[in-house]
Structure 1
Amino acid sequence: MELGGIAHSAVDGSCEATLRQSVSVRGPGLHTGRVARVTLAPAPAGHGIRFTVHCPRTGTRAEVQAGTAAWVASRMSTALDIGQSRKLRTIEHLMASLAASRIDNAAIAVEGTEIPILDGSASRWCALIDEAGRVPQARPRQALRIRVPFQVNGLHGFLRAEPGDDFTVDVSTDRLPDFGVLRWTGPIDPGTFRTAIAPSRSFGNASLIWRTLLKTRLARTLLPAGARDRLWARSFTAQTVAECRRDPAPARPEHQRPIRPDTEDRMHPRDREPLLRGARPGRVAILLGGRVLGGARFPDEPVRHKILDLVGDLALAGRPILGRVVANCPTHALTFAFLTELMRHPECWEVVPLAEVRHRAT
């Protein structure tokens, strides 16, 4: 059986892998609205996922390894530091697709500073990876296996990893207006990711998008200040969370670890940056009154997209995670804190060859 162009027998995950050939895509970014071109190319074993970023506006070029060391705070997205106070933004959907496809090594060239949002999902990225093909390499693949439960808490939720010999998730969200509690549990493997997670789209509350539009120069030109103020105030009335109809994923206070002040200092951006300038129907799912305008791809599409983002952010660990990840209302900032603090507690994890894990399982 094949997943697009990737055969099951070639995706057992015991060896590193790269792409067979180069593929490219072009499109606007979600937050900047600017068009970028991305080319995925093969890379040697041990290379990892590396971005070479060329900014046409400034003529500058930078190379950055995808990992926690380069992770910088960015509003509503995951970003890497490319130097000179610049970021490569919105990498999470591409990173999730590479990780779920078990692509360990790739050279990624970006002409621009934000990865294209495409249709808001990861389906197009998965299709491009399938088109490129997957080539196993001789180097054994290493995994980060969770040995001791480890949890960090955020303002509205938590993120926890528990021991396990596969990568599974249990993710919920209870802060979407009129949706109650949405929860999805299951394994993350190439097949499940493509069918159950990748098609889910980035989502935005209609009120948030409306507030973003009210900040534009066009709104300031067309609407009197008083009218803008009234519409701004009214947009917050739709933010009340409906009464929960299901239970969210449970927190375990006994496993909670503190987030250190230096990590908290890096969790949230201090600079002003574009937000949702590229948000349009066809690029995001717009939520209003407990509905997805134009129809949902899944009844619980928003929480599936939370998982998509989570998989992409966890890929910045630099190796696959073996364990059960449990979360309620995860955010990019919280996942950054989770990985940063987890790395500071080596007693909670170990690095193991995946071939050894597969052998024990059989």
Structure 2
Amino acid sequence: MGLEGCARAAGSGVREATLGRSVSVRGAGLHTGRVARVTLAPAPAGHGIRFAVRCPVTETSTEVPAVASGWVASRMSTSLDLGRGRKLRTIEHLMASLAASGIDNAAIAVEGTEIPILDGSASRWCALIDAAGRVPQERPRQALLIRAPFQVNGMHGFLRAEPGEGFSVDVSTDRLPGFGVLRWSGPIDPASFRTAIAPSRSFGNASLIWRTLLKTRLARTLLPAPTIERLWACSFAAQTVCAAAGPEPTPARPDCERAIAPETQGRMQPRDREPLLRGARPGRVAILLGGRVLGGARFPDEPVRHKILDLVGDLALAGRPILGRIVANCPTHALTFAFLTELMRHPDCWEVVPVAEAEATGRGTTGTDCGAIGTT
């Protein structure tokens, strides 16, 4: 049962769902550049989304649930802690695709240390999930209903949840050199996600990729030190954020801002050195330079749509669908982790309710039988 079948399935949104069969894909990681194989398989009701990561050295497998408590800081990606200093990197695109497809339960086997980046978007993940099909299960679906506005600030941006029907977003970014302010808003459901959000690609600033290359052993071998220093300085000059015509950024609301606890702040910064953008190349990322996308953009505002793609995947670590409106400016993986962590500490701002109850009262209406975004 693909997307059309999901939309036709009467009442499928009020019950948990899993995949109809196993599907697999193989590809290189964005940051490590290493090839991994990922298999998505059906799982029983109540299982949730769980990753089983196989270590080729010890030939053992570590299983971790995809929840915020297992999140570990990682450079420019969302990662899960595997213990003993190991992590599974770049899960956000896969998580967003499962969430947007209404898949609550799945067993994901990974042979590698990073989820493949594929073409940098979520389109292929969605195609795999559609090929596997969506099977409703007997267990009622629970959702996180936003009762009161809740906002956290940090890392040059903010992230806020507000009461609202179904699941929708209003996201802007103003930190991309040459692009000015980019903003996208609207409901997120299986159809809108596939057409408006999933095709948007991971983007890499050409200056950042250039600096990564300058750090390599090959660059140090071929280029004299003064040349490397000059190119390094030029890369920062090209990264200056300048104003340009465009929409207004999403507005913050100081009246509902909550502080990020010191222990949460302590978890937001990576503490280890790890590979960065070693697998970045045309065909895997959209490369930004001077306010344009090299080779052409899939949408005029593709970078902010990809911010939303990452945000949907990171919010799936809430462990259940979110019913409400998410408003953000310049959200990051670390800020979304802090948002979820602090939100759970303020139960006055949310309530766990059956999706059936939310739909009956109109609070969970999304325009599709597949229900709201998220995983249970």
Question: In structure 2, what is the Cα distance between the partners aligned to 1:59 and 1:294?
Answer: 42
Amino acid paired to 1:175: R
- Please give the secondary structure, in 1, of the residue aligned with 2:160: strand
Contact 2:2–2:133 (CA under 8 A) maintained in structure 1: no
Question: In structure 2, what is the Cα distance between the partners aligned to 1:177 and 1:11?
Answer: 46
Q: 1:29-76 CA deviation, whole Å, 9 max, x = no partner?
A: 000000000000000000000000002245342000000111000000
Residue pairs, 1:155-234, within 5 angstroms: 155-234=155-234
Contact 1:176–1:241 (CA under 8 A) maintained in structure 2: yes
Question: In structure 2, what is the Cα distance between the partners aligned to 1:11 and 1:249?
Answer: 35
Contact 1:144–1:320 (CA under 8 A) maintained in structure 2: yes
Contact 1:174–1:244 (CA under 8 A) maintained in structure 2: no
Question: In structure 2, what is the Cα distance between the partners aligned to 1:349 and 1:85?
Answer: 34
Give the TM-score of the pair, scaled to structure 1.
0.98
Amino acid paired to 1:110: V
Unpaired segments of 5 or more residues in structure 2? 366-376
Q: Percent identity at matched positions?
A: 81
Is the aligned partner of 1:96 residue 2:76? no
Give the TM-score of the pair, scaled to structure 2.
0.94
- Please give the secondary structure, in 1, of the residue aligned with 2:361: helix
Cα drift, residue 6 of structure 1: 3.7
Question: In structure 1, what is the Cα distance between the partners aligned to 2:68 and 2:155?
Answer: 21
Question: In structure 2, what is the Cα distance between the partners aligned to 1:117 and 1:186?
Answer: 26
Residue pairs, 1:302-321, within 5 angstroms: 302-321=303-322
Amino acid paired to 2:61: R
Question: In structure 2, what is the Cα distance between the partners aligned to 1:11 and 1:213?
Answer: 52
Is the aligned partner of 1:15 residue 2:12? no
Unpaired segments of 5 or more residues in structure 1? none
Question: In structure 2, what is the Cα distance between the partners aligned to 1:213 and 1:10?
Answer: 53
1:349 counterpart residue number: 350
1:335 counterpart residue number: 336
Contact 2:178–2:244 (CA under 8 A) maintained in structure 1: no
- Please give the secondary structure, in 2, of the residue aligned with 1:13: helix
2:41 counterpart residue number: 41
Amino acid paired to 1:181: V
Greater shift in the superposed pair: 241-250 or 131-140: 241-250
1:358 counterpart residue number: 359
Cα drift, residue 13 of structure 1: 1.5
Residue pairs, 1:96-135, within 5 angstroms: 96-135=96-135
Instruction: Flag the 1:11–1:97 CA change in 2: closer, same or farther, 3 A.
Output: farther
Question: In structure 2, what is the Cα distance between the partners aligned to 1:119 and 1:5?
Answer: 26
Cα drift, residue 220 of structure 1: 1.2
User: Aligned Cα RMSD in Å?
Assistant: 1.4
Amino acid paired to 1:199: P
Cα drift, residue 357 of structure 1: 1.1
Cα drift, residue 3 of structure 1: 2.6
Cα drift, residue 20 of structure 1: 0.4
Question: In structure 2, what is the Cα distance between the partners aligned to 1:203 and 1:27?
Answer: 18
Cα drift, residue 83 of structure 1: 1.0
Contact 1:4–1:130 (CA under 8 A) maintained in structure 2: no
Question: In structure 1, what is the Cα distance between the partners aligned to 2:74 and 2:8?
Answer: 36
Instruction: Flag the 1:211–1:8 CA change in 2: closer, same or farther, 3 A.
Output: farther
Question: In structure 2, what is the Cα distance between the partners aligned to 1:293 and 1:282?
Answer: 11
Is the aligned partner of 1:236 residue 2:227? no
Contact 2:12–2:136 (CA under 8 A) maintained in structure 1: no
2:273 counterpart residue number: 272
Instruction: Flag the 1:340–1:181 CA change in 2: closer, same or farther, 3 A.
Output: same
Runs of 4+ that moved beyond 2 A: 1-12, 57-60
